[in-house]
Amino acid sequence: MNYLRDLWSSLSEQTSTTTTPSSSSSSDTSLNNNSTGSSGSPAGVLFNNNGNTELILATGSSSSGGGGSSGLSRLIFSLSETGLTLLLTFLSIKYLFMPLLSNLLNTNNKQTGTNLLPRKKRKIGELIHKCLHLENPRKDDDSYYISLYERYLNKYEKIVADFLVLPEDLDNNFDDIGGMDKLKKEIYESVCFPLKYPHIYEGNSSDSTSIKLRMLPKGVLFYGPPGTGKTSLAKAIAKECNCAFLNVKREFLSDFLYGETEKLVGALFSFATKVKPCIIFIDEIESLLPSRQASYQMHEVSKARISIILSAWDGFETTSDGDQVMVIGATNLRSQLDTAALRRMPLQFKIDAPDRNSRIQILKLLLKNERVSPTVSFEKLADATQFFSGSDLTELCKKALSFPIKELIDREIKSKTSMANIMPRELMFDDFMKARQFVNPSCLEEFEIPMDTDRIIVD
């Protein structure tokens, strides 16, 4: 049923161009009638739309004469030409009424955001209440807040609501990110402070020049090797500023049809303004906005999609509704980002592999609740982990911790004694050195050189 629903949705987009299934000569739609057996009845019907959509109504090979077929296949094979025509006519009607039908089907679709938990709906309702400056907060009235969610969000904004993480549900904060002190300070000053205290940046509202000079940053890019803490930092900002966090992943838009892009991207920004302060975090932003200059073979549809996203972004940037809404992009492949997208993120931070001092701090942080022998030198560990990202160091510690546990497992198996009251021994330097053989550093390769270094404030 879901398959059919998706198919119908996809066909709804092409209602204007798709011919009825019976027009087999169309280049978009083809109809294959495979004669089967002696009856000559069609066994398979295939609609192929630009290679994207296929519907096989009835398939099957029949032995000649069909003597061994099951009752069901005999029923299918015995469909007369008239029956088939009727079926095709029925489907044609559906295709003609696809926009309407698609809307009806979508009301039950999981993508409409109706599967959100009531707690989350209520929370979103509370944010809407605050943003609209409505009076009389009704603290205990769940249904009031849920009704705000239902009434003030359109269908597409409810889809976007699925990507929302509430600040209280975020588990990262700045203290959980080891090292990178200079970078964290820069981020706090240029991103967190304006988000927390927008009034300081608004200046004198009657004087437009002062607003321009003290503009709130609206586009920020984190770029650098994988596992260096870009996502963690974006979440920490949202937590610190008590911001709603819209976690847009690369799948965003991929489940949707081209015709829905505009509405969905528009909804991304309009939803953010309804629950602000809000961070729109776009992970792997180069996959959503790849360079149009670099890929000559990019399909026109993909180029058009990029333009739609960029113009929606512009639209939101120029309205005052966009205050306290910030887009943070993250990428490992900055050079693959569209240059127009890069321009929309003038504040750029290179999140590089942690230096020696940061590695010491990260290791201490990761191991703060573990039993580590006092003989373990964190300085030596840092020396042995050059080019390790924060994520690599996490893996290293996990692997090192597995050795004392493995010893207990072996002991239990060999001596058949219970380990109920026994704890693993302390971690030794050797555990880390053994673990080192299992974890490869991610930041070995020289990271790509930025193209327009003048825009980068932290390096």
Ligand X SMILES: Nc1ncnc2c1ncn2[C@@H]1O[C@H](COP(=O)(O)OP(=O)(O)O)[C@@H](O)[C@H]1O
- Site for Mg ion, rule CB under 5 A: 231
Q: Is 253 left (phi over 0), alpha (psi -120 to 50) or beta?
A: left
Secondary structure tally for the chain: helices H, strands E: 20, 11
Judged by beta carbon, residue 218 or residue 230, the one nearer ligand X is 230
DSSP state of 352: -
CA 363 – CA 367 distance, rounded (Å): 6
CB of 442 to ligand X, least distance (A): 9
Tell me the pairing of strands 164-165 and 35-36: unpaired
Binding site for ligand X (CB under 6 A): 177-180, 226-232, 330, 354, 362, 365, 390-391, 394
CA 303 – CA 416 distance, rounded (Å): 65
For residue 409, give Cα distances in angstroms to 127, 342, 418, 431, 432: 50, 52, 10, 16, 19
Two tokens at 366? Answer: 């990761």
Residue pointed to by tokens 């610190």 = 240
For residue 3, give Cα distances in angstroms to 31, 111, 161, 199, 238: 20, 14, 24, 50, 37
Judged by beta carbon, residue 36 or residue 231, the one nearer Mg ion is 231
Residue pointed to by tokens 């010893």 = 407
Binds 229: which of Mg ion, ligand X, none (CB < 5-8 Å by kind): ligand X
CB of 282 to ligand X, least distance (A): 12
CA 265 – CA 268 distance, rounded (Å): 5
Instruction: Check if the beta carbon of residue 264 is closer than 8 Å to that of residue 248.
Output: no
* Cβ burial, residue 276 (10 Å; 0-12/13-18/19+): buried
Binds 394: which of ligand X, Mg ion, none (CB < 5-8 Å by kind): ligand X
Judged by beta carbon, residue 113 or residue 354, the one nearer Mg ion is 354
Give the residue at shortest CB distance from Mg ion.
231
Judged by beta carbon, residue 216 or residue 233, the one nearer Mg ion is 233
Two tokens at 133? Answer: 């400056």
Two tokens at 430? Answer: 């050797």
CA 194 – CA 197 distance, rounded (Å): 5
Judged by beta carbon, residue 179 or residue 290, the one nearer ligand X is 179
CB of 394 to ligand X, least distance (A): 5
CB of 232 to Mg ion, least distance (A): 8
CB of 231 to Mg ion, least distance (A): 3
Binds 408: which of ligand X, Mg ion, none (CB < 5-8 Å by kind): none
Instruction: Check if the beta carbon of residue 334 is closer than 8 Å to that of residue 450.
Output: yes
Judged by beta carbon, residue 241 or residue 264, the one nearer ligand X is 241
CB of 218 to ligand X, least distance (A): 21
Judged by beta carbon, residue 174 or residue 258, the one nearer ligand X is 174
CA 234 – CA 240 distance, rounded (Å): 10
CB of 230 to ligand X, least distance (A): 3
Judged by beta carbon, residue 175 or residue 300, the one nearer ligand X is 175
Give the residue at shortest CB distance from ligand X.
390
Binds 232: which of Mg ion, ligand X, none (CB < 5-8 Å by kind): ligand X
Instruction: Check if the beta carbon of residue 439 is closer than 8 Å to that of residue 397.
Output: no
SS (H, E, C) 16-73: CCCCCCCCCCCCCCCCCCCEECCCCEECCCEEEECCCEEEECCCCCCCHHHCCCCHHH
Binds 390: which of Mg ion, ligand X, none (CB < 5-8 Å by kind): ligand X
CA 412 – CA 330 distance, rounded (Å): 46
Judged by beta carbon, residue 121 or residue 235, the one nearer ligand X is 235
CB of 192 to ligand X, least distance (A): 17
CB of 64 to Mg ion, least distance (A): 59
CB of 227 to ligand X, least distance (A): 5
Binds 41: which of ligand X, Mg ion, none (CB < 5-8 Å by kind): none
Judged by beta carbon, residue 41 or residue 231, the one nearer Mg ion is 231
